[in-house]
Structure 1
Amino acid sequence: MDVVNIFLTSELGESLEDFVHDHRRFTFDRLGPEGPRRLVEGPMWAFIDWVLPDLAGLELCRRLRADPRTADAHVTMVL
C-alpha cells in the first residue's frame, strides 16, 4: 500500500487520524524546527506556516530541502 505523509507545523498535525483511501494510507504528524519526528516512507507533503514561534517558515523550508530525507517534499506555505 502506498503511503502519503502529510506534515503540518500547527498542533492540528498531532490530532488528525491516519486513514486509508483508494489503496493509499494518508498519515499526519506535526513538523517541528528539527524536521519530521518519524521516518518518512513515500511522498511527503508539508504545510508550513509563514510565521512560526521558533524560526521563519522559509528557514524551515530551507532545512527540509537540505535534508536528503525530505528534499523532494511538496511544500505549501500557509499565510
Structure 2
Amino acid sequence: MSISIRFGEVELPGRDGQTIAGVLMANGHRTWRDAQGSERGIFCGIGICQDCVITVNGVEGVRACQRAACDGDVLEREARA
C-alpha cells in the first residue's frame, strides 16, 4: 500500500510500514535536522543517538528511524543545540 507524507512543501511517496527515515532517504533526503550549524540525519538507525529527530505532526523529538510513517504525516526540520 502506498502512503504520502509532507516534508516542508514537498509531498513524498512511501510504502506502508516504512519508517519516516526510510521514506526521507528513499526520496533523496539525507539530513533533516540542524545541530549547531551541522546537518544531521540518520546515524545509528536504532534510536540511540537521537541524530534523526524530527518534528512530526507538531510533536518535536520524534526518532525518524523508529517511527513508522503514516499517510498524511507532516514533517518539519528541527534545529537543536
TM-score of the pair, normalised by structure 2: 0.23
Higher relative contact order (CA 8 A, sep 6+): 2
TM-score of the pair, normalised by structure 1: 0.23
Rg (Cα) greater in structure:
1
